[in-house]
Amino acid sequence: MDLKKLNDIANRMVAPGKGILAADESTGSIAKRLDSISTPNTEENRRDYREMMFSAKEAMSNYISGVILFDETIRQKAKDGTPLVEMIARTGAVPGIKLDKGPKPLPFAPGEVITEGLDGLPARVEEYVKLGAGFAKWRAVIDIGKHIPTYNCINANTMTLARYAAICQEGGLVPIVEPEVLMDGDHDIDTCMRITEWVLKEQFHQLHYAGVKLEGMILKPNMVIAGKKAARQASPEEVAEKTLIVLKRCVPAAVPGIAFLSGGQSSLDATRHLHLMNAAGPLPWRLTYSYGRALQADALKTWGGKPGNLAAGQKAFAHRARMNALATGGKWSDKAEAA
């Protein structure tokens, strides 16, 4: 393992004023997005949609540090024959790959899941390195409900994430470690805070046991936020404050950066919360974004699957990326948003 190389890549991924575009939707997941703009879910349309973003020079060169890809996308070529991986690398962003195989029911644990994909992982890491990937992502899902999560679920998922991370580092990829506490349900923000702290403390224990070097990884956590169905929704200031409390309690300073998932938040909320955290003062790590819908939604709607809307879609993507880039420095404002 070349720790210096991994650390260099990790620092590029959390470079000041930039963040990570999560474009790793599976074929089934992206179907929902294309359906929303009445566009057939074909390989060509999936390619055109992603090429629209990857060829957006302003956004990619100035505000995007890395792109998480799905297996299909990392192998695709643009209309002019250029590999999409090469198109991304030319902008200075690091191509990455989603490695997990998705959540499956956890035995004897009603309502809980375990993310699968460890079988054959070293060989897949080797293949993706050859295809141009510099980092990888693995998402674990922790739900909050009646009598859940259990320690069994948290232990199983954090241990699996740690094994994945160790395999990635050994094979030359920077692992993004993503233990997501979902914002579904009716739980309040304090419950989310308690569960998130529990999950992150267990996660870093497991990373230690697996031998993962913290300097060569990125953490991708949820923000501490009330469930979507909660009677009381916390203010943006409370979300920022409680998220920072948990992170300071759990995340060692050796981690180069934390790239938040948006987790179902609106585009504006995801930006505002990130801004408030970065505006709170000096922090042990860089705080940035690793957003999917929160970066893509406006661009998708504006593009609408129509070639004539390419420039407008790219402009919408650049605006959303720029707003989040400002948030990484605590410099976002409603005025900038309106402009």
Task: Report, as residue numbers or ranges, the catalytic residues.
Answer: 178, 220
Phi, psi for 211 (deg, rounded to 5): 80, 15
Helix ranges restricted to H, 76-188 = 84-90, 121-130, 151-171
- Rounded to whole angstroms, how far apart are CA atoms 168 and 302? 37
Q: Are 99 and 139 in contact (CB under 8 A)?
A: no
How many CB atoms are located within 10 Å of the residue 264 CB?
A: 16
Distances (CA, A) of 58 to 28, 180, 262, 317, 319: 29, 30, 22, 9, 9
How many CB atoms are located within 10 Å of the residue 135 CB?
A: 27
Give the DSSP per-residue string, 2-21.
-HHHHHHHHHHHT-TT-EEE
| 287: nearest Cα among 322, 325, 320 | 325
Rg (CA), the chain: 19
Helix ranges restricted to H, 55-150 = 57-63, 71-75, 84-90, 121-130
